[in-house]
Amino acid sequence: MIKNVGVIGAGQMGNGIAHVFALHNYFVVLYDVSQAQLEKALMIIRENLQRQLKKGTIQQNQIDSTLKNIKTTTELDAVVDVDFCIEASPEDETLKLNLFSKLDSIVKKESILASNTSSISITKLAKNTTRSERIVGMHFFNPVPVMDLVEIVKGMTTSEETCNIVFNLAKNIGKVPVLTKDYPGFIVNRILVPMINDAIFAYYEGIASAEDIDKAMKLGTNQPMGPLTLADFVGLDTLLSVLNVFYENFKDSKYRPCPLLVKMVEAGYLGRKSGKGFYDYNNK
């Protein structure tokens, strides 16, 4: 039975994952290399809990219990006794491979190790461990406390038992899980990311303004957010990383990142988190 959860990485996704597990009465060990990032994560979790309270989706006592359920640490060894450990590190294959190798040597052998990766091979991550049957993808969507969907990714060596445990775990924290095979992008990003890239190409080629591209897609396809706004929200660096994974794995030119996207990332225009992307957020 899973009671104790390790979350590796306290960034945008990691703090959200810690939030939902702690809210549903799991004890969470939240790890990050940066103490400042851990403090920021706790501040964001408090703010998001307050938003949920104002909306009437949780009670005051749940805020207190959720925060009590989270222990922060800069020591990776602190996750040694967790029953389930999920990494939410940056979308970098080498980083994740090294991290899984370290976690495999630290976390007790009967525990499941999961990745929140949006595009990197679960099968490849599993090969770097001695528990390949207990390695699985658990891909949350941003913002984690709000978005219902979780993709459960079955690698080539992931056991049915592991998939079933994590599938039910997602249900236990109020999410709606879907099962997907281990191919780049899984379900959502395999479809969504090329669409966003095409929108960037449309802007790059001068077909329309960013505002009109977003307006057209919102009103023409009933999407709540235009593709360029969504790109800024996701992070242009993350988007580029996913496209590069697609391009390298499929060797198909349709996944070629738009040159404008590459230049914007090189310039540090990463979207909301940097203050500027396709839109300027510094005065908002």
Tokens standing for residue 50 = 């307050």
What whole-number distance in Å separates Cα of residue 159 and Cα of residue 203?
44
The position carrying tokens 């703090």 is 15
Tokens standing for residue 143 = 């913002």
Catalytic residues: 118, 139, 151, 189
What is the DSSP annotation of 172-198? HTT-EEEEEESSTTTTHHHHHHHHHHH
The single-letter code of the amino acid at 167 is F
What whole-number distance in Å separates Cα of residue 233 and Cα of residue 231?
5
Contact 226, 218 (CB under 8 A): yes
Contact 265, 242 (CB under 8 A): no
Q: Is the dihedral of CA 224, 230, 139, 9 positive or negative?
A: negative
What whole-number distance in Å separates Cα of residue 71 and Cα of residue 210?
42
φ, ψ of residue 135 in degrees (nearest 5): -110, 130
What whole-number distance in Å separates Cα of residue 38 and Cα of residue 8?
11
